Amino acid sequence: MTTLLAFAFVLGVLVFVHELGHFLAAKRVGIRVLKFQLGFNPTIASFRYGDTEYGIGALPLGGYVKMAGESPEEPRTGRPDEFLSKTKWQRFQVLIMGPVMNIGLAFVLTAVVLYQGADVPAYEDRPPVVGAILDGSAAAAIDIRPGDRIVSVMDRPVNTWQQFLIAVGSRPNRETSIMLERTGQRIVRAVTPTVAPGESRFEIGDIGVLPDVHPHIPKVYPGEPAERAGVKPGDVVLAVNGERITFGRQVRDAIFKRPEQSITISVLRNGERLDIHATPEKRGDGGWLGISLADETKSIKPGPVEAVTMSLKRNVEYGGLIFHTVWGLLTRETSPRQLMGPVAIAQLSGESAELGWIALFGLMSMISLNLGILNLLPIPVLDGGHIFIMALEGAARRDFSARVKEKMLLAGFVVLMMLMVTVIYNDLTRISWIERLMPWR
């Protein structure tokens, strides 16, 4: 139920904002709006105010604003309040305002989320210098070494770990060129990212490199094995049984898997490396040492102006990533498996809602940005497609016939249906019991 309610809320807000943009722009330039509806037909509830009927449709996957004289097929009276009676510039304003409102919503929501503050991984905005290589990973097979500085991915510079993870994450199972800097020399390696563990739902690529960070121990519980062994609060965990540690979950797994077995924990204390021998007690199904673990993070708490500035920067970066992904789909450089449809959005909405409003607003901002930008693509049926047709008419200095426009819209409809089939198929394969019914997978 939480998933359904969260999905209805997220989609309802995004569609409402999009259609409100068209509605307000139409009213501003003097176009008569016949209907404003959330959801597709059949209409299940409606009321009329002035010239406009406001309704809610039974299928909550979209919405629309119907304007007088909007389609060439409709009988036109030539009245000045009809859509096609307006100039191209006025029609452009009506068409563009839907995507603009979605992009604006993404900007506002991102600023709100950032203003709340958060603890984020400390390494995300650091240069991508390799700290460790996972055994058996793609990176280990091509001689990437600790200390290597990753300079670029597919000739695109990466200045932070976040940029690197995004660049590699978008190329699962595709050969990828990576430039490294090692002892002042630049080396190019070809690597094929595999699907990251735990990310099979969205096919996020991973090559098995880790940043140069370590978890620390903020608390040692009195009387437990860790205290008796000499572990102290503030110790930084470097390795367990000689295996380098990057994240706290690695320590938890190592302890859990070795109940009543002696382990060696290498820690950094006051600048000195110490090897501590401890034996986890058996608690439940696994080992227990009596420590809490925390990854290296930094707190972000921007003021209002800084939150707005950070939101603008982040949305510009994510917008560039969206265009890069679209181009990658056209050139077959990006996996279609990374596309999400309504089922996946519903799942993510439910998961985010369980984490609270801030997480849900963060998801909404990302979806709103995607919706706004994708609607600007020059595909007939989309807002960008209608703008593209008007631009062609302007270049040709004549309006196309209704038949030509019908063919353009049909072509756009076919493209969208193919895309819809792809994303729904992706969504279904992310549901384990449905995937088991697909013998070809």
Is residue 19 part of the annotated active site? The answer reads yes
- In a 10 Å sphere around its CB, with 0-12 CB exposed, 13-18 middle and 19+ buried, how is residue 330 labelled? exposed
Q: Which of 19, 70, 82, 203 is catalytic?
A: 19
List active site positions: 19
